[in-house]
Every structure is written in C-alpha cells, then in structure tokens.
Amino acid sequence: MFAVKRRDYRLGRRGLEVAVALVLGVVPFFASTPATYAQATRTWVSGTGDDANPCSRTAPCKTFAGAISKTAAGGEIDALDPAGYGAVTITKSITIDGTGTLASILDSGVNGIIVNAAAADVVVIRGISIQGAGTSRGLNGIRFIGGGALFVEDTDISDHQFAGIDFEPSAGGQLFVNNVNIRSNGNGSVPSPDTRAGIYVNAGSGATVTVDHATLQDNPYGVYARNNAFVSVRNSVISNHSVIGVLTQAQTGTAETNLESVFVNSGNTGLSAGGLGTTATMRISNVTVVDNSFGIFTGSGGSVVSYGNNRLAGNQGGNAPSSTIPQQ
C-alpha cells in the first residue's frame, strides 16, 4: 500500500511540473499569436469592420482583400453597408456581391479587380461601383488574366486610365456582362495596342464574350474585339466614343463580333472591322448607327455583314455595310 501511494504522489508531482511549464511557456506564446480562422463559405464586409475579424455576419472584415483569404473557394463575400472596400486580386472561384448597399471600390493608381484564377474557376462580380477617380486614376476597372469564366452583373465602372473591363486570358476564358454601365474610361496615355475601351478583349486562344443590356459611354472605344476574340453584344447603347464605337480586328488568329439590337451614336466612327490584315468579321442585325462622323469603316481583312434590317442615318459618311445577306 505504501509503494502504491508513493507512486501516485510522484505522478501528481510530474503533472504539476507539466502544468507549470504550460503556464510559463506555452500560454504566453499563444497569447502573442494572432487568431486564425477557418475559411467560411460565406463572409461579410462592412465599412466599420476589421480585417482581423473572422468576417462573420456579426464580426465582418473591412476590405474585400481581407475577406477573400477567409472565404473558401466557391464561396461568397457580401457587403453589409455603403463603403469603399478596396482593390482585390482573385485567384479562385468566388462571388463578390454588393447588391443594394452602394458598395464600391476606389482604385486610384491600381487595377480595381484582378482575376488570375485557374482554368475551371468561376468568378462573379455583382452590384459593385468600381471607380478609378483620385489623384492618380485607376488603371483598369477589372483586369482578367486567367480563369474559366467571369460574370459582371449590375455594376458601374468609370474613370480609369485604360479599360473598364480588360479581358486578356492567355488561353480560353468566358466573359458575361449583364446590366452594366461603363463610362469615362480611357483617360490615360495611349498604350500599344490601344486598350482604352469600355470592354477590351485580346486572347491567346479563343475567348468568348457576351454583353447584354450594357451602356458604354464616353470611352475612346466602346467595345474593342482583338485577336482570337468572339464577342456578342445585344440590347445595348454605345455612345460618345472618341475613336470607334465597336472595333473588330486581328493581328493574329481571327476576331468576330455579332451585334443585335445595339444603338451606336454621337461618336467618331460607329463600326469598324479589319485593318490589320487578318480576318475580322462583324455581323449586324437590328443595329442603329446614327450621328457619327463616319458610320461604317471596313479595313484590310475586315467585313461588316448586314442582315438587311439595320438603320444608318445622320453619319457624315460610311452608311453602307460590306455586304447584305438574307435573314435565316
């Protein structure tokens, strides 16, 4: 009995030593280490938040960049109130939604949103105002370098040096633009090639772009479809363009645009295809081109094909497409 009691006493003393070690060593270590949080499927940002928070509904983060690292791939970041949530780089599938909150990004001197994700990733930008105003204007509202698909919905993009949306994937990629206003971009020096457009598309291989219910105003180019770009625009207005409303041309590969129910007015040249020698095709149906310095221009390798139901008037010249084909 005595031996047993002595062994129990020694075990208790050893436990006490371990406890003391924890208190003196391990506890201060944890106390000085910032809290870490598991990634959540849905996170939140607020103008009164803090990026040290877990980005939960009751403890939101302050910026999109702060929230994205705490949001799981395929998850969603939602804005709680009107605020500027800062520029962000996206490298995974995610949705950023500011619907109904007047959420914004003020990206003076930088790109508002950069998307550089994997080939199968899907990114959704919804309900955000992306403004490049400031002492140094923002570069591009949204710059897409890589990813599977980008959806831009119910969004305003303005006041950038170059493009509202610069879509330049190295391989493939899809862009869907719906109910978007893109205005007053292209205020910077002229780059080569000239990307100062509402929407600029230039791809390493075939990239497809669909634009529906968009207003593109006061940009040097409304839509510029370049190498390996296949662009469809419908139910949209393109106006006050200082260079060309819709330009389709290719230096490598081919380029193609299809316009349906589009109004192009009050700019320099309304529509233009070709000019770099490689095949560039534009097809127009129910398109109105009015009050431009020049209506339609066709350059080397280009063609503007009409379905015979378009209206060209009030332009100082260029009131005829390359050819007209019957509607099928």
Q: Scanning the structure block, which residue is given the tokens 């006041």?
A: 159
- Please tell me the predicted confidence (pLDDT) of residue 11: 42
Q: Does the structure show a pLDDT above 70 at 27?
A: no
Q: Does the structure show a pLDDT above 70 at 16?
A: no
- Please tell me the predicted confidence (pLDDT) of residue 9: 38
Q: Does the structure show a pLDDT above 80 at 17?
A: no
Over residues 82-111, the mean pLDDT reads: 98
| pTM strictly above 0.85 | yes
- Assign 327 a pLDDT band (cuts: 50, 70, 90): confident
**Beta strand 149-153 pairing with 103-106:** unpaired
Indicate the class that CATH gives domain 36-242.
mainly beta
Residue 208 C-beta-side C-alpha neighbours within 13 Å: 4
pLDDT in tens, 33-49: 445 567 999 999 999 99
Q: Does the structure show a pLDDT above 50 at 167?
A: yes
Q: Does the structure show a pLDDT above 80 at 147?
A: yes
- Please tell me the predicted confidence (pLDDT) of residue 109: 96
Q: Does the structure show a pLDDT above 70 at 1?
A: no
Asked which of 28-42, 98-112, 182-196, 286-300 is least confident by mean pLDDT, the reply is: 28-42
- Please tell me the predicted confidence (pLDDT) of residue 328: 74
- Please tell me the predicted confidence (pLDDT) of residue 63: 98
- Assign 247 a pLDDT band (cuts: 50, 70, 90): very high
Backbone angles phi, psi at 148, to 5 degrees: -80, -50
Residue 246 C-beta-side C-alpha neighbours within 13 Å: 36
Cβ-contact 207, 232 below 8 angstroms = no
For the chain, the domains span: 1-33, 36-242
Cβ-contact 219, 246 below 8 angstroms = no
- Assign 135 a pLDDT band (cuts: 50, 70, 90): confident
Averaged pLDDT score across all residues of the chain: 91
- Assign 60 a pLDDT band (cuts: 50, 70, 90): very high
Q: Does the structure show a pLDDT above 80 at 162?
A: yes
Residue 78 C-beta-side C-alpha neighbours within 13 Å: 12
CB neighbours of 181 closer than 8 A, spacing ≥ 6?
155, 156, 157, 158, 214, 215, 217
- Please tell me the predicted confidence (pLDDT) of residue 72: 98
